Structures are given as structure tokens and as C-alpha cells.
Amino acid sequence: MRDFNELDFFIQKKRLKLIEQYVPPNATVLDLGCGFYPQNLINLNNKISRGVGIDRDIPAKAPSTKIQLIKADIIKSLPLPDSEFDCVLILAVLEHLDFPGEIIRECARVLKPGGRLIITIPSNYSRPRLLTLAMLGLISREEIFDHKHYFNKQAVETMLGNAGLKMVLSRWYNLRLNLLFVFEK
């Protein structure tokens, strides 16, 4: 389990509040990198019909009968059938992946036609600020030092466009430290 503190949990809660308006009601939702405590799916439980969380570290028991947890690394492919989900969440995860473009193509594959992909990522401007906050122990060092990528808007738009997804929304949040994207298949 990662070295989260109260500020990390506060940021996670704010991120969920920001994205929940873009999750369709009664949706089947996939949360990639859901974490050991799948907070996003737990908080969306009353809004969704079914949730699936994938992470390399998950609890032995799902927190709800509507939530299924799959223990797997998110490397290049997803152990899921085509066109299964109304919505896929990749919240503060893409920057940790070695092959983000391949996972984006997999997200497009598992999305139903008209389905939404919701992504939050650190902006390319945030790196020095996040490193400073981590060094001060205000946010998780392990999480920040594990970042393999920092993105700019154009690179993300191109990567998702190449996967056949259309951008619906792009916006900054958290003092321009992060970007939110909503794409549709």
C-alpha cells in the first residue's frame, strides 16, 4: 500500500467530486489503478449499476456487491472483453504507466460506443511543484517519484485521437497542476 497522508486523501476526494458529474447514471464503470482502497468506486456506488476496479494491490473482498476487483498490472493490455463499459476512469494513473498509449487503446477497446473515458493527469508544469511537495512530505513521495510522464494538453489530445476517441472536455484544475479530460468513443 502506498504512503498516502491526509493531503493525498483530500486531493483524491476533490478529484472524485470534479469527475463524478461526467460519469453517466447507471453506468458500468471501470476504474483503472483503483488502488487498495477503491474509493472512486465506493463513492460512485449509488450512481453506477456495476463497477470494476483493476490494480496490482487490491483487498481480498470487494466493498460492495456491485463492485468487482481484479488483481492485475496495467501494462499493455486489459483482461476484459470488448465494448463492456459505459465509462472508464484513469484518475492520477496514466503518468505511472510505461506504455500510456497502449493502455489508452485498450480503454477504447473496452468502451461501448458512445462510452466515456475520464482522465486526470499532472500537467507538464506541475513537476517541480509536486517534487517539492513530496520532498517536504506533504504528499506521497512514492507516488510522485514513480511518475514516468508529465503531459501537455496537445500530447494527450493526439494520443487519444489516435485511439479513435473524441475529446468532449479539457480543463485545468488544482492551480494548473492537473488536467481533466473527458473523451467519448
pLDDT digits (tens, 9 = 90+) for 101-158: 999 999 999 999 999 999 999 988 888 888 888 898 888 888 888 889 888 888 899 9
Angle between helices 100-110 and 153-162 (to 10 degrees): 50
> Taking 60 as the threshold, does the pLDDT of residue 3 lie above it?
no
Chain mean pLDDT for the chain:
89
Residue with cell 463499459: 85
pTM of the model: 0.90
Highest mean pLDDT among 17-21, 23-27, 147-151: 23-27
Q: What is the mean pLDDT of residues 24-51?
A: 93
Q: Chain centroid to CA 141: how far?
A: 19
Q: Could you give all domains of the chain from N- to C-terminal order, each with its CATH number?
A: 6-184 (3.40.50.150)
Residue 88 vs residue 153, higher pLDDT: 88
> Taking 80 as the threshold, does the pLDDT of residue 6 lie above it?
no
Which region among 2-6, 20-24, 169-173 has the lowest average model confidence (pLDDT)?
2-6
